[in-house]
A and B are shown apart, each in its own frame.
Chain A
């Protein structure tokens, strides 16, 4: 059970799983690195993926259309855990497609999420190996 809890905690707060295992340098690097990617992504006017596109038909009714590639991007952004929630609550990462750096910003954001999955899995692995000893 404990490794899964650590995975969940590390997913919510990047680096926290390593902090629990007293790997303070790693925890600091993961937290600050992922936070830096998120901040740069926001400054570069990137956006968080939504799993659907919104289109309006001839009657002006807005319809949501789910798209597999958008779902993958959405899952990548979801990897940011609480950062994702906080950024959304603050109303950042809405994206500005007219900006030169829009695509780079979006890539920074989704990469930060994907890296946090790797960090959380690493913390899970450390916890599991620790439990076996």
Chain B
């Protein structure tokens, strides 16, 4: 069994998904990099913020 840490599971997932979506949406390398980083940050920050809020429920 791998990824016992939920955070790492989600970060790896975010990394792969944001890379694929960035490649789907753009052809230019600079735009792919920019979109990939942006999506990854959105997902990562969303995950951490969501988890933090759930912690109080």
Contact = CB atoms under 8 A, between A and B. Distances in A.
Contact of A29 (B10, B17, B19): B19
Contacts of B4: 100-101
Interface residues of B, number: 16
Interface in B30-50: none
B3 A30 contact: no
A104 B6 contact: yes
Contact of B2 (A43, A111, A115): A43
B20 A119 contact: yes
Interface stretch (A33-41, A53-61, A73-81, A84-92): A33-41
Interface string B1-24: 111101001101100110111011
B9 A101 contact: yes
B1 A29 contact: no
Nearest to B2: A43
Q: Is the interface of B mostly helix, strand, loop or mixed?
A: helix
Contacts of B17: 111, 115
B23 A29 contact: yes
Contacts of B13: 37, 104, 107-108, 111
A129 to B, nearest CB: 12
Contacts of A33: 16, 19-20
A81 to B, nearest CB: 15
A40 B17 CA distance: 13
Contacts of B16: 33, 36-37
Interface of A: 25-26, 29-30, 33-34, 36-37, 40, 43-45, 99-101, 104, 107-108, 111, 115, 118-119, 122
Interface of B: 1-4, 6, 9-10, 12-13, 16-17, 19-21, 23-24
